């Protein structure tokens, strides 16, 4: 562990979330906050989610857990026992933030809802993260990633027009929700630091995904035009309804290249034609094209198709790496479709010290993690500690910090409270 110099080092967070809210606590932890992950005795069921370290399914080897619960200490506590609730109340008294993702009503049922929390500590910011929010007709609905992606509208925009709507294969909605929840918690924190008054922050996963598809709905709002899934093509850039190819097969995979307008687009189109010309692959009509008069907003499908045909032929002959190097050198827009392997090979990350080696002594090795989400001139943002083992900090938190006697601690363990 490194001495913590994060911006939020003086604040404590109690984290009661499942995967829907993991990232919220991690983000506050990245900024230095003391985040205590509270698991049920025996450990969080999410620890059964893979992938696993060396493919060995084991609650202490879940890479899903490692990735999203680092920067947290870990304790176990049974909130459904009265003794457990009493201990939780004592933890609340010393906390600045509480984050939870139970179904609405669960905490109230156990007398730990916002009203109870604020009676114990009116300064606390309680952030509740659920699929659909704390109230409303769907608030008790169950949802995993795919239901959230569907209900937000996101899936309607991904997939081929003649096949089912698609989600992203690796769950996205949990991370969107966790990161926007952190924003909400910190806005409430700002108010609390001004006024001394905490509050309840109600986060909806369905609503958190709305920004993921930007402005697609405004086409409906303004012009009753329905944006729909279009496979590998981009729509909505031209008022004629023309669609532009986004993904182009190349020698060893796919490239993301789009015929854009605007200043950057014109520069890119010009640079591409020059590059094609160095290999004798730029047709005359492209070389003669007056790019400064090219307007993407009223381009027709016919014109786009004519331009894309020779470009497609050109891209088939180059590799992803070649494309990446040339777009950087020629200051063109476009990137290869990278896999996780290529992300590790990108020299930009090494130059920025993005990757962090974190020790896992019980596994006998260190693991490479994506590091802090931002660089600050004052205060660091980074991984300070690996994810906790089950109950790893029970003694530290309960005995050393909360002052529970060793005898009582043992009794609580035997009673299944801890």
Partner 1 sequence: MQSLKDVKIVEFAAFAAGPVVGKHLADHGATVVHIESKVRPDGFRTHYPPYKDNIHGLNRSGLFALCNNDKLGITLNLKKAPKATELAKKIVAWSDVVIENFSPGTMARLGLDYENLKKVKPDLIMLSSSNLGQSGPHAHHAGFGSQLSSLAGFTNLTGYPSGPPQILYGPYIDYIAVAYGAVAILAALDYRKRTGKGNHIDTAQYETGLQFLAPILLDYKINGRVAARNANRDPYAAPHGAYPCKGDDSWCVISVSSAPEWEALCHVMGNPPWSADKKFSSHESRKANEDELDRAIGEWTCSLTARDVMEKLQRAGVKAGVVNRMCDIYDDPQLKQRPQWVELDHPEIGKMHYQRPPFLLTRTPPGPAKRDPLLGEHNEYFYLELLGLPEKEYEGLVKEGVID
The rounded distance, in Å, linking the Cα atoms of 193 and 79 is 29
Binding residues among 78-107 for partner 1 as defined by CB under 8 A: none
**Which of 34, 60, 202, 392 touches partner 1 (CB under 8 A)?**
202
Identify which of residues 43 and 336 has a Cβ nearer to partner 1 in the complex.
336
Sole window of 35-43, 98-106, 219-227, 409-417 interacting with partner 1 (rule: CB under 8 A): 219-227
Identify which of residues 80 and 346 has a Cβ nearer to partner 1 in the complex.
346
Sole window of 34-42, 198-206, 275-283, 407-415 interacting with partner 1 (rule: CB under 8 A): 198-206
Nearest-10 crossing angle of helices 301-315, 262-278: 40
Identify which of residues 285 and 376 has a Cβ nearer to partner 1 in the complex.
376
127 interacts with partner 1 by CB under 8 A: yes
The neighbouring-strand residues paired with 368 are 357
* Those residues with Cβ within 8 angstroms of residue 180's Cβ, 6 or more apart along the chain or in another chain: 203, 208, 211
**Which of 103, 281, 312, 337 touches partner 1 (CB under 8 A)?**
337
Binding residues among 222-281 for partner 1 as defined by CB under 8 A: 222-223, 225-228, 230-234, 236-239, 246-247, 249, 254, 256-258, 260-262, 264
Strands (E), 168-295: 200-204, 233-234, 244-245, 247-250, 253-256
Distances (CA, A) of 408 to 39, 186, 267, 390, 403: 20, 36, 71, 20, 10
Sole window of 78-86, 285-293, 369-377, 392-400 interacting with partner 1 (rule: CB under 8 A): 369-377
Sole window of 87-95, 97-105, 277-285, 326-334 interacting with partner 1 (rule: CB under 8 A): 326-334
Spell out, one character per residue from 166 to 185, where the chain touches partner 1: x when CB under 8 A holds, - when not: xxxxx-x--xxx-xxxxxx-
Neighbours of 66 (CB within 10 A): 21
**Which of 57, 111, 306, 344 touches partner 1 (CB under 8 A)?**
344
Binding residues among 41-80 for partner 1 as defined by CB under 8 A: 49-51, 53-55, 63-64, 66-68
Q: Phi/psi of residue 92, each to 5°?
A: -60, -40
**Which of 93, 94, 111, 193 touches partner 1 (CB under 8 A)?**
193
Identify which of residues 223 and 278 has a Cβ nearer to partner 1 in the complex.
223
Identify which of residues 219 and 409 has a Cβ nearer to partner 1 in the complex.
219
The rounded distance, in Å, linking the Cα atoms of 286 and 304 is 12
The rounded distance, in Å, linking the Cα atoms of 158 and 386 is 35
Token pair of 113 as six digits: 């809802």
The rounded distance, in Å, linking the Cα atoms of 123 and 397 is 21
The rounded distance, in Å, linking the Cα atoms of 355 and 230 is 35
Identify which of residues 87 and 155 has a Cβ nearer to partner 1 in the complex.
155
Shortest distance, position 302 Cβ to partner 1, whole Å: 19
Token pair of 222 as six digits: 């303004």
313 interacts with partner 1 by CB under 8 A: no
Token pair of 142 as six digits: 């169950």
Q: Give the chain's radius of gyration (CA, Å).
A: 26
Shortest distance, position 261 Cβ to partner 1, whole Å: 6
Size of the site for partner 1 (CB under 8 A): 157
Nearest to 225 by CA among 241, 212, 248, 203: 241
Binding residues among 281-310 for partner 1 as defined by CB under 8 A: 296-297
């Amino acid at each position: 562990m490194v001495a913590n110099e994060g911006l939020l080092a003086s604040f404590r967070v109690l984290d009661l979330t499942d995967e829907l809210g993991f990232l919220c606590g991690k983000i506050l932890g990245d900024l230095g906050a003391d985040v205590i992950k509270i698991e049920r005795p025996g450990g969080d069921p999410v620890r059964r989610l893979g992938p696993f370290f060396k493919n060995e399914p084991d609650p202490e080897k879940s890479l899903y857990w490692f990735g999203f619960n680092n920067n947290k200490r870990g304790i176990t506590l049974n909130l459904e026992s009265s003794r457990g609730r009493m201990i939780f109340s004592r933890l609340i008294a010393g906390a600045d933030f509480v984050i939870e993702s139970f179904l609405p009503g669960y905490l109230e049922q156990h007398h730990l809802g916002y009203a109870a929390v604020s009676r114990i500590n009116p300064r606390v910011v309680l952030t509740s993260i659920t699929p659909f929010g704390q109230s409303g007709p769907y608030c008790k609905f169950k949802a995993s990633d795919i239901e959230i992606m569907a209900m937000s509208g996101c899936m309607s925009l991904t997939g081929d027009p003649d096949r089912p709507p698609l989600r992203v294969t690796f769950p996205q909605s949990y991370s969107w929700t966790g990161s926007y929840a952190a924003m909400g918690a910190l806005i409430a924190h700002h108010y609390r630091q001004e006024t001394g008054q905490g509050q309840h922050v109600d986060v909806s996963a369905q609503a958190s995904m709305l920004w993921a598809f930007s402005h697609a709905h405004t086409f409906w709002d303004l012009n009753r035009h329905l944006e729909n899934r279009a496979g590998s093509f981009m729509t909505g850039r031209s008022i004629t309804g023309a669609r532009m190819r986004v993904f182009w097969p190349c020698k060893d995979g796919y490239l993301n290249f789009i015929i854009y307008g605007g200043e950057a687009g014109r520069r890119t189109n010009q640079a591409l034609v020059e590059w094609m010309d160095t290999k004798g692959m730029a047709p005359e009509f492209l070389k003669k094209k007056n790019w400064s008069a090219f307007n993407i907003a009223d381009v027709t499908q016919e014109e786009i198709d004519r331009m894309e045909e020779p470009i497609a032929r050109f891209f088939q002959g180059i590799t992803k790496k070649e494309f990446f190097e040339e777009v950087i050198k020629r200051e063109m827009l476009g990137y290869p479709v990278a896999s996780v392997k290529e992300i590790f090979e990108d020299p930009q990350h090494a130059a920025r010290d993005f990757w962090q080696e974190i020790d896992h002594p019980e596994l006998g090795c260190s693991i490479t993690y994506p590091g802090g989400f931002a660089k600050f001139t004052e205060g660091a943002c980074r991984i300070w500690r690996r994810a906790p083992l089950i109950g790893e900090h029970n003694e530290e938190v309960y005995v050393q910090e909360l002052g529970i006697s060793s005898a009582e601690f043992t009794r609580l363990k035997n009673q299944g409270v801890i």
